[in-house]
Chain A
Amino acid sequence: MTTEPHHSAPAPYWSWAGLTEGAWRSTALLPGTIVFSMAFGTIAAQKGLTLTEAVLMNAVVFAGSSQLVAMEVWTNPLTLGSLLSLATITAIVNARFILMGASLRPWLGGLPPWQAYMVLLQNVDANWIVASRYRGEGGSDVSIYLGSGIILWIVWVTAVIPGYLLGAVIKDPSRFGFDMMLPIFFSAMLIPMWRGVKRGIGWGIAGVVALAAWYLIPGYWFIVIGAVVGSIAGGFIDDE
């Protein structure tokens, strides 16, 4: 089944200029990504991973919060049970990517499927928000999304090395607010994404439900629960 293209937005395309533009648009997040990756390297070393394994995990998983949580159940050697819990925990922490992928359907649905799936494999919070903001302003160059992901991936994969080798360089990252990096960047990007009060009602519901879910349900469900309820509500709010 095909998806109807985003109304009035042009078909998706690729460009070299978009790669560098996408990389530029995620630079505000690079310091936070470096610190996060270094912190992960330190923890991976403490858990007994080799440097190669830590770098490889950053390269192929490329999803920081889920990697941190996975380290809590990591054992060496791994049993079948611990492999299953690793996969489950990783999928749960990254469940927000399911919604991010869904939100990109109207745009990337216009690509040949293999290109859409390839570019989705590098989805993280940061390049998704960069791409969503760009798309919200009417853009269609998928290279923005890819270029933003590539620069974050390079930094994520390399910064783990000094973190692994040197140990905790920055003793308490939260002192510099790096634990708030993502909410601060997200809240800034929300402003250009604003499309009026009618859309905002769904967002507000998402926030209230997510907050309630965070209080009531342990773990990482609050983003998915809040976002699903908020966007369903948004679907029932008529334009004009």
Chain B
Amino acid sequence: MTSIMNDLATYGPMAGILAMAFATYFTRVIGFWLMGHVPVTVRVRRMLETLPGAIVVATVVPLTAKAGPAGLIAVGITMAVMIARRNEFLAVAVGLTTISLLRYFGL
């Protein structure tokens, strides 16, 4: 039955856009909603305090590894600039310049 519906029923691009929008809205609100139903014990509070940095590290490490040595060097230099100057504009500019140069020279 489902396969027949698949063959017969077709939808325009607007339906696809709406499907993607609602799927995205769901991810945007459900975590917040769920945490409203979890008692905030000391452990949960510590988990939530660790969570932002954990998301950042879990994003950065694999994407950097994927970018190879050039990515690793660029991220390392970005963090070094940030530690030294505490200026994310400068850090990001230096990081992007670094990776562009490294790639230009074939690393």
Q: How far is the CA of A210 from the CA of B74 in the complex (A)?
A: 20
By beta carbon, the residue of chain A nearest B26 is A91
**Which residues of B32-77 have CB atoms within 8 Å of chain A's CB atoms?**
32-37, 39-40, 43-67, 71, 74-75
Interface size bucket, B side? 35 or more
**Which residues of B5-49 have CB atoms within 8 Å of chain A's CB atoms?**
5-7, 9-37, 39-40, 43-49
Shortest distance between the CB of A79 and any CB in chain B (Å) = 5
Given A1-B37, A28-B92, A188-B92, A106:B13 Cβ within 8 A: no
A86 within 8 A of B: yes
**Which residues of A188-239 have CB atoms within 8 Å of chain B's CB atoms?**
188-195, 199-200, 202-211, 213-214, 222-228, 230-237, 239
A144 contacts which chain B residues (CB < 8 A)?
none
**A94, B11: Cβ atoms closer than 8 Å:** no
Q: How far is the CA of A204 from the CA of B53 in the complex (A)?
A: 9
**B79, A190: Cβ atoms closer than 8 Å:** yes
**A61, B59: Cβ atoms closer than 8 Å:** no
B23 contacts which chain A residues (CB < 8 A)?
86-88, 90-91, 94
A16 within 8 A of B: no
**B61, A211: Cβ atoms closer than 8 Å:** yes
Given A78-B10, A102-B32, A180-B67, A61:B51 Cβ within 8 A: no
A112 within 8 A of B: no
**Which residues of A145-201 have CB atoms within 8 Å of chain B's CB atoms?**
174-195, 199-200
B17 contacts which chain A residues (CB < 8 A)?
53, 56-57, 60-61
Q: How far is the CA of A116 from the CA of B20 in the complex (A)?
A: 21
Given A78-B12, A192-B86, A227:B58 Cβ within 8 A: yes
**A180, B96: Cβ atoms closer than 8 Å:** yes
A27 partner, pick from B19, B89, B91, B99, beta carbons under 8 A: B89
Pull 27 A–B residue pairs with CB atoms less than 8 Å apart, ordered by A.
A28-B92, A60-B17, A61-B17, A77-B10, A77-B11, A87-B19, A94-B24, A102-B48, A106-B48, A121-B25, A177-B96, A185-B92, A187-B64, A188-B91, A189-B88, A199-B49, A206-B58, A207-B61, A208-B61, A214-B65, A226-B58, A226-B62, A227-B51, A227-B57, A227-B58, A234-B54, A239-B46
Chain B positions within 8 Å of A, measured between CB atoms, are 2, 5-7, 9-37, 39-40, 43-67, 71, 74-75, 78-79, 81-83, 86, 88-89, 91-93, 95-100, 103-104
Chain A positions within 8 Å of B, measured between CB atoms, are 1-4, 7, 27-29, 49-50, 53, 56-57, 60-63, 66-67, 70, 74, 76-84, 86-88, 90-91, 94-106, 108-109, 116-117, 120-121, 123, 125, 129, 132, 136, 174-195, 199-200, 202-211, 213-214, 222-228, 230-237, 239
Q: A129-B52, A207-B60, A211-B62 are in contact. List 12 more A-B contacts (CB 8 A).
A: A1-B37, A27-B89, A57-B20, A87-B23, A96-B27, A103-B55, A120-B29, A192-B82, A204-B57, A226-B57, A228-B54, A235-B50
* 6 pairs of A and B residues whose beta carbons are closest in the complex: A234-B50, A226-B58, A101-B31, A235-B47, A102-B31, A230-B54
